[in-house]
Structure 1
Amino acid sequence: MILFIFITGFVSHAQTARVKGVLLDESNMPIEDATVKVGDITTKSNENGFFQIKIPANVKVIIEITHVSYKKSTVTVELKNNEDYELNVVLNQKSEQLGEVVISGGGRKRVEGVTTIEPQVIRMIPGANAGVENILKTLPGVYSNNELSTQYAVRGGNYDENLVYVNEIEVYRPFLIRSGQQEGLSFTNTEMVSNVDFSAGGFQAKYGDKLSSVLDITYRRPTRFRAALDASLLGGSATVDLVSKNQKWSNITGIRYRNNSLLVNSQETQTNYTPTFADVQTQINYDASAKWEWSFLGNISQNKYKYEPLTRQTNFGTIDEPIALQVFYEGQEKDEYVTYFGAIKSTYQANENSKYKFIGSIYHTQEQEYFDILAQYRLGEIDSNIGSDTFGDVVYSRGVGSQLTHARNNLDALIVNAEVKGFHDIKKKSSQVEWGFKYTREDIRDRLVEWEVVDSAGFSLPQPHIVLPNDQPYTPYYGPLAPYQNVRATNFVQINRFSGYGQWNYRGTIGSSQFWVNAGARVHDWKVQGDNLNGKNQIVFSPRAQFAIKPEWRTDMLFRLSGGLYQQPPFYRELRDYSGTVNPDVKAQKSYHIVVSNDYSFKLSGRPFKLVSEAYYKILDDVNTYTIDNVRIRYRANNDAVAYVYGADFRLNGEFVPGTESWFSFGYLKTEENQNDRGYISRPTDQRLKFGLLFQDYMPALPNMKLYLNLVYNTGLPGGSPSYADPYLYQLRLNDYRRADVGFSYVFKDATIQSTKNWLKKFKELSLGFEIYNMFNNQNAITNTWVRDVYTKSQYAIPNYMTTRTFNIKLNARW
């Protein structure tokens, strides 16, 4: 508190003022690394084009803005003491060709291998779960076979191996989610986003301790009042930007609501479904002085999920032998997830070359998962005679039975973080140094009570792990009467973590070619404690490096090499095994990672294009094996395996249609694991081929009408076996995942389309859209339901299909 009061009360005694603003190009895109100079004082614009500079007060000064790719701009101002002045400038591009290529501006992300996604693309592209994650699934190396979920896997990893930052603050997901339709809302509010960066591997040491990917999101800092309203049959959102008169205070607040009934009602299972997914998110910025900046990010989210299944019929089999599964349900599921998140971030610009940041955050989640559902099933042959009165009905039963599932799961988690970062620019040596230290306290209170009873033709089936003769109904079964599955555990766990990193960036030349080097390392120390738990203290060290070179060729081509040792200390879910028991001494999973890539920029028909090619290889040790059921991950928590991943990704993006960005991506990967030297088998994320297409178009004769297409094809995952099964006995794959979502939008007004109609004058943007989800009505399965036929003693894998073709209407308005 003393530190906060001191910093907040800090006032500069010098007679100074401050100028801040955003630098844009002619396409309204932010310009990074532009130099803003007043006398001997200089600064540079960041990746969002934002800059701020301290100038003398009560005298006329000339502000000079320069960039190697743009014409110089100068502005003369005279400001009062402690006055803030907003200066937003659009720089014009030079007409002449430069004699040399300088790695600057967007080049920084290019040499780092970071993919940047424009917020406008994120808002307009259709999808059952529209947002940042919806766009990520079209990128190479990113895999998902569940349109109801915002979770994704990257290059052979699982959902728990991806880092997500908002304003440099790590954000978390609910723990107890087992089905994509329970997730509701992603943490990221699309309307508040100004920049999205994504790295699928080989990322720098400044990012945290995960194995697969980094999603780095920046919320915008408002510079004027604005408001936005989005509404559709799936819900809506409202966002407001506010700025004080002296420009010191700014705020952006968003409220969202979502109802998945439209999607869930398109599935085979008929239900009474009453969901409520809502959240409110706010960011408050305060510029205390020319050197101090403060911001607060807060989020409150409440997901209430009530699910009451009624009936289901799934047809499968062959044309000659059609089979159907009919299920009649009793009972319901009532889940609730309430999360509170708050973070304070302070930035201190000590001088032109040094900057420090303090970040503190608290995340609190209270989750409950309650259900009692009785499913009575009938497996039989279908009447395929078209002229029959019973056409399509089950006329002969091969098996009947029931399944009763019960759960009373509660989880309460509190996660506290405190972090300090430093940034130092050593201009004489063309290098930068970054460092950081972080403390994390995780307090988990978990109760797990789940059991399942399976009955087939009147005979209760024993636990699959009990090895006893069972020849029912021909001979009596004398084994113990026990639920088919039964998990009961209560865990109170505390984890203390200390982590830090240091890295060095350098830019130089080799002859006429330019190169860029990044080298750094992370260290992580943690210990797991709790009731009847006293884990050992563990420390891991993770060195990483990147190298990029841009030859002085006529073609615009860049080569990158990156890699290192990536280690992921276990989070709570990775400590808990199948029985619910916590193993406090689970080791960090290790990934020796190398990525080789090429970035080729060119023009075709006078329009810009870029082809990015990457090849990667990972060797994994101390692997914590797991199974995935829908989106629920269950770990074995024993580090009993080794694994490998290799593959290649390609992405071609550019203006296939003038004025719009589209891309095509392709990926191939193979990943296998070896548990206890039993041999290599496919991992649950071994999704071999991936095609993705994001396409934007408009009608030349009717420019107000625009089209957006989102298409994904993935080969089937090895996820069709029961979660409790031995993966060496079950290597069944699901069918390929194929999905196309298309949206048509009529734009009444935006930055490029203006209107003279009076009723449109108040709007900056207004559009009305029509969307078709799963346009080709493909049947995609997320898991299998396993049903026994007591007569043949066979098990049938009945696919659990996802959503069918669905229609949506969407309204977007901006003021």
Structure 2
Amino acid sequence: MAQLNVAQTARIKGVILDEFNSPIENVSVKIGETGTVTNANGFYSLEIPANKDITIVFSHVTFKDATLTVNLKTNEDFEFHPVLNSKVTQISEVIVTGDNKKRIEGIIAIDPVLIRKIPGANAGIENIVKTLPGVYSNNELSTSYAVRGGNYDENLVYVNEIEVYRPFLIRSGQQEGLSFTNTDMVESVDFSAGGFQAKYGDKMSSVLDITYRNPKRFKVGVEASLLGGGITAEGISKNQKWSNITGVRYRDNSLLVNSQETETNFRPKFIDIQTLLNFNASTKWNWSFLGNISQNTYNYKPLTRQTNFGTISDPIALLVFYEGQENDEYLTVFGAIKSTYQYNTKNKLKFIASTYHTQEQEYYDILAQYRLGEVDSNIGSETFGDVTFSRGIGSQLNHARNDLDALIFNAETKGFHEINEKTQIEWGFKYTREDIKDRIVEWEVVDSAGFSLPAPILEYQNDQPYNPYTGPLAPYKNVRATNYTTINRFSGYAQWNHRGFLGEHKYWLNAGIRAHQWQVSGRNIYGDSQITFSPRVQLSLKPDWENDVLFRISGGMYNQPPFYRELRDYDGVVQPNVKAQKSIHLVLSSDYSFKIWNRPFKLLTEGYYKNITDVNAYTIDNVRIRYRADNNAKAYVYGFDARLNGEFVPGTESWFSFGFLKTEENYNDRGYIARPTDQRLKFGLLFQDYMPNIPNVKVYLNLVYNTGLPGGSPSYADPYDFQLRLKDYRRADTGFSYVFKDEKIKSEKKWLEPFSELSLGLEIFNLFNNQNAITNTWVRDVYTKSQYGIPNFMTTRVFNVKLIARL
């Protein structure tokens, strides 16, 4: 090993890996003409001059060169573990790119820098995911999304390989506040919309795999806007063994909620603190701790609302006066320890333990007194726009006292073993315990023209005021239950990865199987022990063609053992023997990389089919899902997705996405009807641009169009007798940013020297002021005996100012 013979030196060392996290031997590590090479374990160690900028070059004959510039203190010991990408190589006069693991697995990688820049009412990772093909949403205030006919509970989300959970009692998107993921801490984001490998968990729709970054030096980042802000700090210890990144965020949705039709006194407080602490015990052993504390306080006091609908010739309005308020609180504490031990170049073990504790309460008493009437449409009238004649009057009283306490513990071990350069084996085993205490008390009383309306499910004739009502007095809706539930789960997987050649064509094969055993118990609850098996296969083929095309076929059995929400039926009672929903997936894909205008582009197309049995039918109201908990349905999904992404503007990534799907279910053999997630067409656009004459001015556009979802029907309406579709969801958010300084735009101004990035921007949410409805409110006209579905509209056009500063 060559060393520099200088008086004041420091040392840089580490392990050099390829895209598959395998060590690379004989990598040249040089400073000018002086350097060293990695050993069989990929390890290198090199002394360098201290207290000056030094550029180190990492090079290998089959990998792209990498460079690093450092300035180390005297005797400082710095660890750096670069990952080298394969070069483009020449095989039989046909160019074939190097192995790309994410491309082979059908995973879409999203640039974290892009996530932080793209505008959205609820900006973050989910905001970007909703523009991808196969992903559907009709609620800009929610981080929830549906993928290829699934619902919000069918998506896996991991942060540093640790599964995270959705809130339990959230009914409305505006109650969610902050997403779990702090985008300022993110290193990489990977997303798969189906056909994923056995190493991922037991859900039926998608995987969002997020990795937080390991700090390499001290940094501070600040974001501030009219919706809130955050600060992130990161650093590394002098001996390079310890590192930490911590973020604090605050959000206030008042700006958005006050743009809705309901006038309110609204005082939300959404705050969280996250930290990732890393300890490198040695070059082989790493420990990390991920912690999160979040508190959402949602105090909502509606005052008035007027919604105009009908036609130009016959305008109608719903005028509502409110009394009462809603007080909700959500406190979540999360902690996880992860240990990674790579005991040699071909074998790696991981151990992960995590605890998730949430305490949620949902209390409200809201009286809504309404007038349904005709609107004065005479432009010259002093009462123009007001309700001048009432067709119907009534009131609605909603009450809830819901409390939930959930404690979830996970312990997991994983292994990765490289048999040879072509074959690897991965395995994992996991234990989960879920302890949930839940009380639900909800009732609703509806009064129309002085006559209380009983629940439709009582099936008593009620034609007041023409005949007296002789049935029992009962709330229009009444749900009461107390559940103490414990679920013990054991799950595991094993999968085999292999690559090789079919003639001149390259292929990658992954085959694996998952198993999941669980049992539900608790106070007066005795469930059976159940077990499922989930075999999965992926085959990718890269033909020996001049064009860079990859074909992929994947599928298998994707089971979803019920989580707590899926065990609770319409009456709030836990049904312990609910079975796992079972879905057979088949996904056919093509991935074509090419160049236009000498810039890189990619066209991804996928066709898919799902056959689902033991379906746990459900309804969706805003973001709340309520299950039948009886497994008495079957369903299917099929569709086609396409995404074109590339540098439409030099140096920036943009994409267009398109999706078509159809999903129907058959409940109790009554025939097939549209499922609640049957959102047929989807168009998404994410676009970046800058002004050629003023390159400091950046422009961002986030546009989504989804056709209407089935929904908006009256409470307790039988979907086989009464099914509506909401209007199409159309949303465009845009942002204009002046960048004073960043990685590409440099500045000689002295006051900008401390900043690595500084920008000030204007965001316009709902640029075209589209009226998007999330649900309907149903009221009665006593004169015509008609019911009217009045849409509950989402946010209107809103302006926001945003500042980003990083040191």
Q: Shorter-chain-normalised TM-score: which range?
A: over 0.9
Partners of 1:607 and 1:33 in 2: how far apart?
30
Residues 508, 782 of structure 1: alpha-carbon distance in 2 compared, 3 angstrom cutoff: same
Residues 279, 326 of structure 1: alpha-carbon distance in 2 compared, 3 angstrom cutoff: same
Q: 1:636-685: per-residue Cα shift (whole Å, max 9, x none)?
A: 00001000000000000000000000000000000000000000000000
1:307 lines up with 2:307 in the alignment: no
- Note the aligned Cα RMSD (angstroms): 2.5
Residues 248, 37 of structure 1: alpha-carbon distance in 2 compared, 3 angstrom cutoff: farther
Residues 501, 351 of structure 1: alpha-carbon distance in 2 compared, 3 angstrom cutoff: same
Partner of 1:475: 467
Residues 455, 288 of structure 1: alpha-carbon distance in 2 compared, 3 angstrom cutoff: same
Partners of 1:72 and 1:223 in 2: how far apart?
16
Q: Is the 8 A contact 1:57 1:80 kept in 2?
A: no
Residues 564, 94 of structure 1: alpha-carbon distance in 2 compared, 3 angstrom cutoff: closer
Q: Is the 8 A contact 1:628 1:723 kept in 2?
A: no
* 1:763 Cα offset (Å): 0.4
Partner of 1:768: 760
Partners of 2:149 and 2:82 in 1: how far apart?
44
Q: Is the 8 A contact 1:57 1:79 kept in 2?
A: no
* 1:173 Cα offset (Å): 1.6
Partner of 2:631: 639
Gaps of 5+ in 2: 1-10, 28-36, 49-55
SS of match in other structure, 1:191 = helix
Q: Is the 8 A contact 1:35 1:67 kept in 2?
A: no
1:309-708 → structure 2 map (5 Å cutoff): 309-427=302-420, 430-708=422-700
Q: 1:333-359: per-residue Cα shift (whole Å, max 9, x none)?
A: 000000000000000111110000000
Which AA in structure 1 matches 2:215? Answer: P
Partners of 1:691 and 1:359 in 2: how far apart?
39
Q: Is the 8 A contact 2:292 2:334 kept in 1?
A: yes
* 1:68 Cα offset (Å): 2.8
1:109 lines up with 2:107 in the alignment: no
Q: Is the 8 A contact 1:33 1:104 kept in 2?
A: no
Q: 1:593-622: per-residue Cα shift (whole Å, max 9, x none)?
A: 000000000000101000000000000000
SS of match in other structure, 2:528 = coil
Partner of 1:68: 62
SS of match in other structure, 1:41 = coil
* 1:64 Cα offset (Å): 6.2
For 2:173, which of 155, 170, 180 is the aligned residue?
Answer: 180
* 1:86 Cα offset (Å): 3.2
1:28-47 → structure 2 map (5 Å cutoff): 35=24, 37=26, 41-42=39-40
Q: Report the TM-score, using the length of structure 1 for normalisation.
A: 0.92
Partners of 2:720 and 2:353 in 1: how far apart?
45
Residues 23, 346 of structure 1: alpha-carbon distance in 2 compared, 3 angstrom cutoff: closer
Which AA in structure 2 matches 1:215? Answer: L
Which AA in structure 2 matches 1:649? Answer: D
Which AA in structure 1 matches 2:707? Answer: T
Residues 67, 126 of structure 1: alpha-carbon distance in 2 compared, 3 angstrom cutoff: farther
Residues 302, 718 of structure 1: alpha-carbon distance in 2 compared, 3 angstrom cutoff: same
* 1:717 Cα offset (Å): 0.2
For 1:19, which of 5, 13, 27 is the aligned residue?
Answer: 13
Residues 92, 671 of structure 1: alpha-carbon distance in 2 compared, 3 angstrom cutoff: closer
Q: Is the 8 A contact 2:86 2:98 kept in 1?
A: no
1:775-794 → structure 2 map (5 Å cutoff): 775-794=767-786
Q: Is the 8 A contact 1:36 1:63 kept in 2?
A: no
Percent pairwise identity: 71
Q: Is the 8 A contact 1:513 1:549 kept in 2?
A: yes
Partners of 1:456 and 1:743 in 2: how far apart?
46
* 1:388 Cα offset (Å): 1.8
Residues 481, 570 of structure 1: alpha-carbon distance in 2 compared, 3 angstrom cutoff: same
Q: Is the 8 A contact 1:165 1:216 kept in 2?
A: yes
SS of match in other structure, 2:217 = coil
1:23-422 → structure 2 map (5 Å cutoff): 35=24, 37=26, 41-42=39-40, 53=43, 65-66=59-60, 68-71=62-65, 84-87=77-80, 99=93, 104=98, 107-422=100-415
Partners of 1:346 and 1:590 in 2: how far apart?
33
Partners of 1:141 and 1:129 in 2: how far apart?
20
Q: Report the TM-score, using the length of structure 2 for normalisation.
A: 0.93
Residues 33, 109 of structure 1: alpha-carbon distance in 2 compared, 3 angstrom cutoff: farther
Q: Is the 8 A contact 1:779 1:801 kept in 2?
A: yes
Partners of 1:268 and 1:64 in 2: how far apart?
60
Partners of 1:666 and 1:33 in 2: how far apart?
36
SS of match in other structure, 2:499 = strand
Residues 589, 94 of structure 1: alpha-carbon distance in 2 compared, 3 angstrom cutoff: closer
Q: 1:749-770: per-residue Cα shift (whole Å, max 9, x none)?
A: 0111111111000100000000
Which AA in structure 1 matches 2:160? Answer: N
Gaps of 5+ in 1: 1-16, 25-29, 45-52
SS of match in other structure, 1:116 = strand
Residues 89, 471 of structure 1: alpha-carbon distance in 2 compared, 3 angstrom cutoff: closer
Q: Is the 8 A contact 2:16 2:23 kept in 1?
A: no
Q: Is the 8 A contact 2:277 2:290 kept in 1?
A: yes
Partners of 1:80 and 1:785 in 2: how far apart?
70
Q: Is the 8 A contact 1:743 1:772 kept in 2?
A: yes
Partner of 1:5: none
Q: How many residues align?
A: 779
Q: Is the 8 A contact 2:94 2:545 kept in 1?
A: no
Q: Is the 8 A contact 2:780 2:787 kept in 1?
A: yes
SS of match in other structure, 1:477 = coil
* 1:722 Cα offset (Å): 2.7
Partners of 1:684 and 1:425 in 2: how far apart?
44
Partners of 1:418 and 1:84 in 2: how far apart?
34
Residues 147, 437 of structure 1: alpha-carbon distance in 2 compared, 3 angstrom cutoff: same
Residues 505, 101 of structure 1: alpha-carbon distance in 2 compared, 3 angstrom cutoff: farther
Residues 93, 753 of structure 1: alpha-carbon distance in 2 compared, 3 angstrom cutoff: farther
Q: Is the 8 A contact 1:34 1:66 kept in 2?
A: no
Partners of 2:349 and 2:127 in 1: how far apart?
34
Partner of 2:805: 813
Partners of 1:97 and 1:515 in 2: how far apart?
17
Partners of 1:240 and 1:145 in 2: how far apart?
34
SS of match in other structure, 1:208 = coil
Partners of 2:57 and 2:78 in 1: how far apart?
12
SS of match in other structure, 2:382 = coil
SS of match in other structure, 2:199 = coil
Partners of 1:125 and 1:40 in 2: how far apart?
41
Partner of 1:48: none
Q: Is the 8 A contact 1:251 1:282 kept in 2?
A: yes
Partners of 1:199 and 1:776 in 2: how far apart?
31
Residues 703, 80 of structure 1: alpha-carbon distance in 2 compared, 3 angstrom cutoff: closer
1:736 lines up with 2:736 in the alignment: no
Q: Is the 8 A contact 2:778 2:789 kept in 1?
A: yes
Residues 453, 321 of structure 1: alpha-carbon distance in 2 compared, 3 angstrom cutoff: same
* 1:727 Cα offset (Å): 1.1
* 1:91 Cα offset (Å): 7.9
Residues 160, 178 of structure 1: alpha-carbon distance in 2 compared, 3 angstrom cutoff: same
Partners of 2:321 and 2:459 in 1: how far apart?
31
Residues 523, 88 of structure 1: alpha-carbon distance in 2 compared, 3 angstrom cutoff: closer
Q: Is the 8 A contact 1:651 1:665 kept in 2?
A: yes
Q: Is the 8 A contact 1:713 1:737 kept in 2?
A: yes
Which AA in structure 1 matches 2:739? Answer: V
Q: Is the 8 A contact 2:88 2:98 kept in 1?
A: no
* 1:512 Cα offset (Å): 1.0
